[in-house]
Structure 1
Amino acid sequence: MKNIVFDIGNVLLEFRPKDFLKGLGFDKNISNRLYHLIFLSDEWKELDRGVIDYDIAYNIFSTKAPELKTEIKTVLDKWHETLTPIYENVKLLKDLKEYGYNIYYLSNFHKDAYEKMYHKYDFLRIGNGGVISYQVNTLKPDHHMYATLLSKYDLNPTETLFIDDSYENVEEAQKIGFQGILFTSCNELRNSLQQML
């Protein structure tokens, strides 16, 4: 194995939108509405794909729930603040890099949020490269995401291990020939890597 490919959300950066909404002080009913309106929406996926921006998303969400315009703006302005490092996995990534493995990223992510995280956290800058959904206008588990990573960096999938918290994403990677690990906990990930590498 030469290459380790990490998903970012909920593998390297924790993303808990319900906890984020609760932390903003909204009552339970408003938090629940905002969660479904924003985080479970098609527009959220379109942001990941990079085909709309926050201004467009805000206008769409505000049209659907005009009485929540202020709350919607707060969520869109601040949601990336809830993205915090999963330190055990970040240390693992850095250890793997030191051991000589090539590190790549393959993640569904909004352009604006990814750029903020990229500049904020050094571990997103020490890899050998990656493919982020907004860059290719599609989402995992679309085959194109994986194929783009392989072709861009001339990787052999049989020499490449992919780590993701989504079963569907890992399954698609395995169909292409990657080795795969479904992330469930930091300890399990470390144990799995010790067995596979």
Structure 2
Amino acid sequence: MTEIRHIVFDIGKVLVHYDPDIPFSRLIPDATERKWFFDNVCTSAWNLEQDRGRTWEEAESLLIAEYPDHAENIRNFRRHWHEMAPHAYEDSVALLEGLIDDGHDVTLLTNWASDTFREARARFPFLEKPRGVTVSGDIGLIKPDRAIYDHHVASFGLDPAASLFIDDSQKNVDGARVAGWQSVLFTDAGTLKADLERFGIAA
């Protein structure tokens, strides 16, 4: 096994909690109606295009034209996004900071819209501690497309085979492997600690 020299963290659901149901359980109290809204209107695929760099103005306009009766809640998705990311996972952040303090090369690679990431960075100061971050919305690329992994490698001078990627999405973990990285699926900080130790990294 190649020695790991670079550790790359995803952010959402690895370091920062994310759940659109938090504000929308209040905005659309009926669970069936809320599920329909997320399955048909503000879908994951729609939101991913903002992660790719589409502006919220364009995203909202497209949906409002198709679902005018839901205009207010379409706008509420961006309006209340900060409630969707209410807190960091303290145990995951402690692992991240411990790795940095021990001298490991740590960077971040996230699917995140540019404007909301800037707000997240202000709210979660630990995001400034790694050597750098690739934000999908800034470069017009998203995981699990190979191009974003290659871009991150080029930006930070990484050796893919010596890079360990940590993400909560199996598709993104698989995408990293296709790009020649080592990668693990994040479920919780305890499992991640064991995974790091399996790669010879004390955490």
User: Please, what TM-score do these two structures have when normalized by structure 2?
Assistant: 0.89
Give the unaligned 5+ runs of structure 1: none
Q: Which residue of 1 aligns with 2:97?
A: 94
**Which deviates more from structure 2 when the two are superposed, residues 109-118 or residues 24-33?**
24-33
Q: Which residue of 1 aligns with 2:74?
A: 72
Q: Which residue of 2 aligns with 1:173?
A: 176
Instruction: Give distance in 2, aligned partners of 1:77 and 1:35.
Output: 16
- Determine whether 1:45 maps to 2:48: yes
**Which deviates more from structure 2 when the two are superposed, residues 176-185 or residues 103-112?**
176-185
Letter in 2 for 1:168: K
Q: Is the 8 A contact 1:6 1:162 kept in 2?
A: yes
Let me know the Cα RMSD of the aligned residues.
Answer: 1.6
- Deviations 1:40-96 (CA, angstroms, capped at 9, x unpaired): 34x32211100x211111112212221121222222201232212111111110111
Taking only the aligned residue pairs, the percentage that are identical comes to 28
Instruction: Give distance in 2, aligned partners of 1:137 and 1:151.
Output: 16
Alignment of 1:139-178 (within 5 A): 139-178=142-181
Letter in 1 for 2:76: T
Q: Is the 8 A contact 1:17 1:35 kept in 2?
A: no
Q: What secondary structure sits across from 2:42 in the alignment? A: helix
Alignment of 1:56-135 (within 5 A): 56-83=58-85, 84-135=87-138
- Deviations 1:17-44 (CA, angstroms, capped at 9, x unpaired): 2344214453224322331211334x32
Q: How many residues align?
A: 195
User: Please, what TM-score do these two structures have when normalized by structure 1?
Assistant: 0.91
Letter in 1 for 2:64: S
Q: Is the 8 A contact 1:34 1:72 kept in 2?
A: no
Give the ranges of 4+ consecutive aligned residues of structure 1 lying more than 4 Å apart after TM superposition.
Answer: none
Instruction: Give distance in 1, aligned partners of 2:125 and 2:43.
Output: 27
Q: What secondary structure sits across from 1:96 in the alignment? A: helix
Q: Which residue of 2 aligns with 1:12?
A: 15
Give the unaligned 5+ runs of structure 2: none
Letter in 1 for 2:164: L
